[in-house]
C-alpha cells in the first residue's frame, strides 16, 4: 500500500472507508436482544425484563444526550450511541437472589459468551503504550471504538466495543497488511482508555510537532543537534494538557505515586497502585524537561534550579474533590527525576469512627484526645496509617475556639483548619527550634509529627505540663513498649505518668475484595500458628477478580491497640519498669492486643489469615 493510502486511512478519508463513512452501520445488537439474553440466563427476572423493554429506548435517548465532552463532537459517529449493555446497566438492577449489581462488565461478558467471542476486562496498567498508540491509527481507533491490546507473531489483538462492527476492521487489515484478532470489551472501558491514552499521547505528539519535530522517534537524534534540548517551553499548550491528562489518569487509577524518570533515550512514567509500580507511558526524552518544568511551575519550585533536589506541592481538584500532590525532584544521571505523591483527603482525613476502631478502643481513644491537656501517642511502623489517625483526630477536635498548630517533617497535607509548620533542617528550622518558640503562638493543641529524640520529647512534656494537648507519634511495635522507649530517651517515669493520657499502636490490614470473597476454613497448621483450640473455624479469602486486579484485596482497615493509663498501671511505671509486668497489667485492665484485634477482623470476614500473619507477624 502506498504512503498516501496510509495517510488517507489515518485521516479517515481513504476511499475504502468512504462507503461506510457516509452511512454509519447500524448496531445490530438491540436492547431487546440483550434483555432477552439476560432473562434467558436468569440475570434478570420477568419484572425487570418487562421494565427494560418498556423504558429501554427512552433511557438510551437520555444517555445519548449526555456524551463525554472530550470525545463528543470530534471524529466519531459510532460511539455516540450508548451500547445496549450501558443502557441496561444504567437502570442499576440487582441480579435476582444475589444482592449483586448487574454491571456492564457482567453483561458484556455474557454477550461475548453468547456470540462465541473472547471477552476481556481491560486493565490499563497492563497495556503496553507503544502497542496501544502506534499499531492502529488514532483516528481509526476513536471512530470505531477499538483498543489495540497487544501484538504477537504478527497478529494484532484489539478489543472492540461493538462485536458487529466488522467491516472497518476488515478494511484496516487489508490496508495495513496485518492480521487482526478481535476480542470484546465493555464500551465504557474502551472509551476511557481511548480518551486517557490517546489524549496524553496526542498532546505529546503535538508538542513535538510544535518543536518542529516529526512524530517519528527515529528522527529525534538528528533534531537534537539542530535545536536545543530545552527548546520546548513548559508553557506550551500541549505540554500543559499532557500533564493534565497524566494527573487525571493517575487519580482515576487510584495511584498513590507518579514517577517520571529520565533515561538515556526516553523518559518513563510509572504509577504506583496498591503498592506496586506499573509502567504507564514512555515519552521522547526531549519532552522530559518541559514536563518537569511544568510540574515545577505548578508546585512553585525554582524552575531554573536543576542541580539540587526540591520539594513542593500542588493543590488540585478531581471529581469535585480536593487532592493534594507533593512533588519532589532529584537530579539523576540523565536529568531530573520527579516523584509525585498523591494525597486523597478522603483517605488522610476521615471520620474517626470509620477507620476501623472497635467500640471499646474508640471510646477510650476519644477520651484521650478530648482531655484539655496531656500527651496522646500513636505508634506503629511507617505506612501503618498514623498520619490518617492524627489528622482525623485533629479534625474531630478542631473548632473556631481552639488554636491547633502542627509541626511536621514534611507537612503531609495542607489543611486550612490547622496552622502547620514544616521542618526545614537546611535552614535550621528543626523540631527543636520550632517547638522552643511555638508556645508563644498560644496553641491549645499541638501535633508533633514524630518524637525522635530527647529534645522533642522534652518539649512535648513541657507543653503538656503547661496545659496543652499534644498529639504525636513514636516508632514502636506495640503500645506498652512505648513506655520503655520514652524512658530510654530520658523522660523520667514520674513525668510519663503525669503527662501521658494514653497510647495507641496501630496497623493497616488489607480488606478482602467483596466481589470475589469466598468462605473457607483455617487449616490445622494455621490453627496451631494462632494458638487456638482445635475445631472448625470459618474464615474468608478473596479469589482475585477484575475489581481487585487479581489480588483478592481491596481497600484497607485499621486495628488499634489502646493502652489506658489506669492508676494500677501508673503505679508500676518506674525508672526500672519491668515490661512483662506492664504488659500483664495492661491485659488485665482490658487491653486487646494487635494480634487479637487482627484475628477478630479475620473471623468477621474483613481480612485473611495471610494478612494478619504478614502484618502482625
Binding site for Zn ion (CB under 5 A): 513, 515-516, 545, 547-548
Find the shortest distance in angstroms from Cβ 140 to Zn ion.
34
Q: Which is nearer to Zn ion, 49 or 119 (CB)?
A: 119
Q: Which is nearer to Zn ion, 444 or 547 (CB)?
A: 547
The three grid cell numbers given for residue 391, joined into one nine-digit string: 489528622
Cell 470530534, located at residue: 74
Q: Are 160 and 172 in contact (CB under 8 A)?
A: no
Label the pairing between strands 335-343 and 445-448: unpaired
Find the shortest distance in angstroms from Cβ 543 to Zn ion.
7
Contacts of 77 (CB under 8 A, 6+ apart): 24, 143
Question: Which of these, 389, 404, 444, lies nearest to 559 by C-alpha position?
Answer: 389
Q: Which is nearer to Zn ion, 272 or 549 (CB)?
A: 549
Helix (H) or strand (E) holding 519: strand 517-521
Secondary structure of 46-69 in HEC code, one letter for each residue: HHHHHHHHHHHHHHHHHHHCCCCH
With 0-12 CB in 10 A as exposed, 13-18 as middle and 19+ as buried, what is 418?
buried
Find the shortest distance in angstroms from Cβ 581 to Zn ion.
45
Find the shortest distance in angstroms from Cβ 41 to Zn ion.
22
Find the shortest distance in angstroms from Cβ 550 to Zn ion.
8
Backbone region of residue 590 per phi and psi (left: phi > 0; alpha: psi in -120 to 50; beta: other values): left
Q: Which is nearer to Zn ion, 79 or 542 (CB)?
A: 542
Neighbouring C-beta atoms of residue 11, cutoff 10 Å: 13
Q: Which is nearer to Zn ion, 210 or 515 (CB)?
A: 515
Q: Which is nearer to Zn ion, 156 or 545 (CB)?
A: 545
Q: Which is nearer to Zn ion, 395 or 601 (CB)?
A: 601
In the beta sheet, which residues pair with residue 325? 314, 342
Q: Which is nearer to Zn ion, 354 or 543 (CB)?
A: 543
* Residues in the chain, overall count: 617
Q: Which is nearer to Zn ion, 492 or 550 (CB)?
A: 550
Q: Are 546 and 533 in contact (CB under 8 A)?
A: no
Find the shortest distance in angstroms from Cβ 514 to Zn ion.
8
Q: Which is nearer to Zn ion, 415 or 516 (CB)?
A: 516
45/525 Cα distance (integer angstroms): 45
Find the shortest distance in angstroms from Cβ 256 to Zn ion.
19
Q: Which is nearer to Zn ion, 422 or 555 (CB)?
A: 555
Find the shortest distance in angstroms from Cβ 248 to Zn ion.
25
The three grid cell numbers given for residue 271, joined into one nine-digit string: 504509577
Cell 516508632, located at residue: 475
In the beta sheet, which residues pair with residue 336? 331
Cα Rg, the chain, nearest whole Å = 29
The three grid cell numbers given for residue 552, joined into one nine-digit string: 483478592
Residue with smallest beta-carbon separation from Zn ion = 513
96/98 Cα distance (integer angstroms): 6
300/340 Cα distance (integer angstroms): 14
Find the shortest distance in angstroms from Cβ 598 to Zn ion.
21
Helix (H) or strand (E) holding 281: strand 276-284
Find the shortest distance in angstroms from Cβ 96 to Zn ion.
22
Find the shortest distance in angstroms from Cβ 105 to Zn ion.
12
Distances (CA, A) of 158 to 6, 17, 127, 147: 19, 19, 11, 5
HSE-up (13 A, CA, CB side) for residue 211: 31
Neighbouring C-beta atoms of residue 89, cutoff 10 Å: 23
Find the shortest distance in angstroms from Cβ 352 to Zn ion.
28
Q: Which is nearer to Zn ion, 103 or 293 (CB)?
A: 103
What is the CA 302 to chain-centroid distance, rounded?
28
| First-to-last C-alpha distance (Å) of the chain | 63
What is the CA 355 to chain-centroid distance, rounded?
17
DSSP 547: G
Q: Which is nearer to Zn ion, 349 or 516 (CB)?
A: 516
Find the shortest distance in angstroms from Cβ 124 to Zn ion.
17
Q: Which is nearer to Zn ion, 509 or 545 (CB)?
A: 545
What is the CA 528 to chain-centroid distance, rounded?
36
Find the shortest distance in angstroms from Cβ 125 to Zn ion.
15
Label the pairing between strands 445-448 and 404-408: parallel
Q: Are 313 and 414 in contact (CB under 8 A)?
A: yes
Amino acid at each position: 500500500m502506498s504512503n498516501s493510502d496510509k495517510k488517507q486511512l489515518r485521516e479517515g478519508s481513504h476511499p475504502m472507508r468512504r462507503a461506510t463513512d457516509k452511512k454509519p452501520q447500524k448496531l445490530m445488537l438491540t436492547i431487546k436482544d440483550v434483555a432477552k439474553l439476560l432473562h434467558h440466563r436468569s440475570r434478570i427476572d420477568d419484572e425487570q425484563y418487562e421494565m427494560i423493554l418498556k423504558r429501554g429506548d427512552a433511557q438510551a435517548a437520555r444517555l445519548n444526550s449526555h456524551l463525554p465532552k472530550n470525545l463528543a463532537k470530534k471524529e466519531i459517529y459510532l460511539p455516540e450511541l450508548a451500547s445496549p449493555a450501558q443502557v441496561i446497566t444504567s437502570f442499576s438492577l440487582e441480579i435476582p437472589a444475589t444482592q449483586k449489581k448487574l454491571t456492564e462488565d457482567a453483561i458484556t461478558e455474557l454477550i461475548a459468551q453468547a456470540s462465541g467471542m473472547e471477552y476481556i476486562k481491560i486493565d490499563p496498567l497492563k497495556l503496553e503504550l507503544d502497542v496501544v498508540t502506534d499499531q492502529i491509527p488514532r483516528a481509526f481507533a476513536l471512530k470505531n471504538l477499538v483498543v489495540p491490546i497487544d501484538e504477537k507473531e504478527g497478529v494484532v489483538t484489539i478489543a472492540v466495543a461493538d462485536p458487529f462492527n466488522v467491516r472497518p476492521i476488515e478494511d484496516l487489515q487489508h490496508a495495513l497488511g496485518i492480521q487482526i484478532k478481535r476480542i470484546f470489551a465493555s464500551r465504557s472501558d474502551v472509551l476511557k482508555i481511548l480518551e486517557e491514552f490517546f489524549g496524553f499521547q496526542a498532546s505529546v505528539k503535538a508538542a513535538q510537532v510544535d518543536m518542529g519535530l516529526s512524530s517519528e522517534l527515529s528522527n529525534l537524534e538528528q533534531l537534537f543537534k539542530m535545536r536545543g534540548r530545552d527548546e520546548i517551553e513548559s508553557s506550551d499548550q500541549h505540554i500543559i494538557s499532557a500533564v493534565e491528562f497524566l494527573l487525571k489518569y493517575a487519580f482515576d487509577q487510584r495511584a498513590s505515586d507518579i514517577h517520571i524518570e529520565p533515561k538515556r533515550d526516553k523518559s518513563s512514567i510509572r504509577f504506583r497502585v496498591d503498592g506496586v509500580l506499573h509502567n504507564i507511558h514512555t515519552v521522547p526524552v526531549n519532552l522530559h524537561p518541559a514536563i518537569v518544568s511544568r510540574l515545577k511551575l505548578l508546585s512553585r519550585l525554582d524552575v531554573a534550579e536543576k542541580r539540587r533536589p526540591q520539594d513542593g506541592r500542588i493543590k488540585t481538584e478531581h471529581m469535585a474533590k480536593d487532592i493534594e500532590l507533593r512533588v519532589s525532584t532529584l537530579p539523576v544521571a540523565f536529568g531530573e527525576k520527579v516523584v509525585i505523591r498523591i494525597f486523597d483527603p478522603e483517605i488522610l482525613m476521615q471520620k474517626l469512627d470509620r477507620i476501623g476502631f472497635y467500640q471499646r478502643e474508640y471510646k477510650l481513644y476519644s477520651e484521650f484526645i478530648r482531655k484539655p491537656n496531656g500527651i496522646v501517642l500513636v505508634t506503629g511502623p511507617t505506612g501503618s496509617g498514623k498520619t490518617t489517625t492524627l489528622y482525623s483526630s485533629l479534625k474531630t477536635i478542631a473548632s473556631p475556639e481552639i488554636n491547633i498548630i502542627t509541626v511536621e517533617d514534611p507537612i503531609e497535607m495542607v489543611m486550612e483548619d490547622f496552622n502547620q509548620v514544616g521542618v526545614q533542617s537546611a535552614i535550621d528550622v528543626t523540631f527543636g527550634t520550632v517547638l522552643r518558640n511555638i508556645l508563644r503562638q498560644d496553641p491549645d493543641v499541638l501535633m508533633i509529627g514524630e518524637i525522635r529524640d530527647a529534645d522533642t520529647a522534652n518539649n512535648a512534656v513541657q507543653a503538656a505540663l503547661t496545659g496543652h494537648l499534644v498529639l504525636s507519634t513514636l516508632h514502636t511495635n506495640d503500645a506498652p513498649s512505648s513506655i520503655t522507649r520514652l524512658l530510654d530517651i530520658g523522660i523520667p517515669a514520674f513525668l510519663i505518668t503525669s503527662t501521658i493520657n494514653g497510647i495507641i499502636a496501630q496497623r493497616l490490614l488489607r480488606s478482602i475484595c467483596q466481589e470475589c470473597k469466598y468462605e473457607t476454613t483455617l487449616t490445622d497448621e494455621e490453627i496451631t500458628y494462632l494458638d487456638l483450640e482445635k475445631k472448625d473455624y470459618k474464615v474468608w479469602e478473596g479469589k482475585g477478580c477484575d475489581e481487585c486486579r487479581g489480588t483478592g484485596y481491596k481497600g484497607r482497615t485499621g486495628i488499634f491497640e489502646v493502652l489506658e493509663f489506669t492508676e494500677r498501671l501508673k503505679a508500676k511505671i518506674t525508672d526500672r519498669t519491668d515490661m512483662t509486668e506492664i504488659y500483664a497489667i495492661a491485659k488485665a485492665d482490658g487491653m486487646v492486643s494487635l494480634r487479637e484485634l487482627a484475628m477478630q477482623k479475620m473471623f468477621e470476614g474483613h481480612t485473611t489469615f495471610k494478612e494478619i500473619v504478614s502484618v502482625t507477624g
